[in-house]
Amino acid sequence: MQRFPCPFCGPRDETEFHFAVEAGHARPEPAGAVSDAAWAAYLYEAASPKGTTREVWLHLTCGEYFLLTRDTLTRAVNASEPLPGVAP
């Protein structure tokens, strides 16, 4: 039973969260200039590292998407931060 910190709500149970995507997947645009391979890479590829990872998560109860840095093996949570552009 893991516990993740929502940058706004504070620590909550894993059941309140939904994994969205690994961080750093910039959407390639415009569509007309994006190759099939580049689009597939954006859509589907994941590093799935064994160790530290940075991911976008959704806190289901408040609806906030945020960045979570954690270890996929030890399950230690290192940091959680709002998406860029959120006033502190």
Partner 1 sequence: MEERDWTDRPLAWDAVIATPTCRVTRQQSGYQSLVSGDLAAGLTVLAPGAAMIGFAETPAGADYAIRIARDRALLVTQSPPAREAGWQAEGVALSPAGECYACLALSGTGAMALLAQGLTSAPPTGSPSAALRFAGLTVLVTGAPHGCLLWVDPASLSYVTGFLSRLTGGAPAPDAASS
Partner 2 sequence: MQRYSALSLLRQGLAGHKGWQSAWSKATPKPAYDAVIIGGGGHGLATAYYLAKAHGLTRVAVLERGWIGGGNTGRNTTVCRSNYFFPESVALYDLALRLYEGLSREINYNVMLSQRGMLIAAHTPAQMEICNRIANAMQINGVDGKLMGAAEAAAKVPLANTAPDARYKLMGGIWQGRAGTARHDAVAWGYARAASALGVDIIETCEVTGIDVQDGAVTGVETTLGPIRTERLGIAAAGATPGLMAHVDVTLPIHDYALQAFVSEPVKPCLDTVLLYLGTGTYVSQSDKGELVFGGGLDRVPTHGQRGNLPVQEAVTAGLLEMFPAFGQLRLLRQWAGVVDVVSDSSPLIGPAGPEGVFINCGWGTGGFKAIPAGGWLLAHLLAKGTHHEISRPFDLRRFAEGRLIDEAAGSGIAH
Partner 3 sequence: MSGWRHDSLGAEIDRDRPLRFTFDGLSVPGFEGDTLASALMAAGHRILGRSFKYHRPRGLWGLGAEEPNAVFDIRHEGSYLPNARATLSYAQDGMQVASVNAWPSARRDAFGLLDLAQRFLPAGFYYKTFMRLPWRIYEPMIRRMAGLGRVDPDYAPDADGVQISAACDVLVIGAGPAGLAAARAAAEAGKTVWLLEDARHPGGALRWRGGEIDGTPWRDYARDTSQAVEAAGGRVMTDTSLWGAFDHGAFAAWQRGPRPRHWRIRAARCILASGAIERPLWFADNDRPGVQSAEAALHHLALYGSLPGRRILMATDSDHSLPVARALKDAGAEVTVIDRRAEVPEATGLAQITGAGIEAARGRRGVTAALVKGEEIPCDTILCAGGWTPSVHLWCQAGGRLDMDEGRDMLVPRPGTAPMTVIGAATGTLDLAAAVAEGLAAGAGKTPAPKAPKPRARAPLRPDPARPGRQWLDLQNDVTLKDVALAAREGFTSVEHLKRYTTLGMATDQGRLSNFAGLAAMAALTNRSVAETGTTTYRPPFQPVPLSAIAGPARGALYHPLKRLALEEAHRAAGARFRDYGGWLRPSVYGQGDEAALAQSEARTARTTVAIFDASPLGKLEVIGPGAAALLDFTGYVRMSTLRPGRARYGFMLSESGIVYDDGVVLRLGADHFVVSASSSHVEGVRFVLEDARQDRIGRASVFVHDVTQAYVTLTVTGPDARALCRAAGLALPDLPHMGVGEIAYQGARLRVARISFTGDMSYELSVPARHAQTLRARLDAALAAFDGRWIGLEAVMLLRAEKGYVLIGKDTDGSTMPQDLGWDGPRARRDDEYLGKRSLFTPEAASTARRQLVGLRVPEGGQPIRTGAHLIPDTGLRRSLGFVTSSYVSPVLDRPIALALLEGGLQKIGQTVRLFDDGVVREAVVTAPCAYDPEGERLDGRA
Query: Site residues (CB under 8 A) for partner 3?
Result: 1-3, 18, 20, 28-31, 34, 36, 39-40, 43, 58, 60, 63-65, 74-75, 77, 83, 85-86
* Rounded CA separation 65/17 (Å): 10
Binding site for partner 2 (CB under 8 A): 1-2, 13-15, 17-19, 36-37, 39-41, 43-50, 53, 55, 72-75
Closest CA to 8 of 57, 80, 71: 80
- Residue located via tokens 């959120």: 86
Distance of closest approach, residue 26 Cβ to partner 3, in angstroms: 11
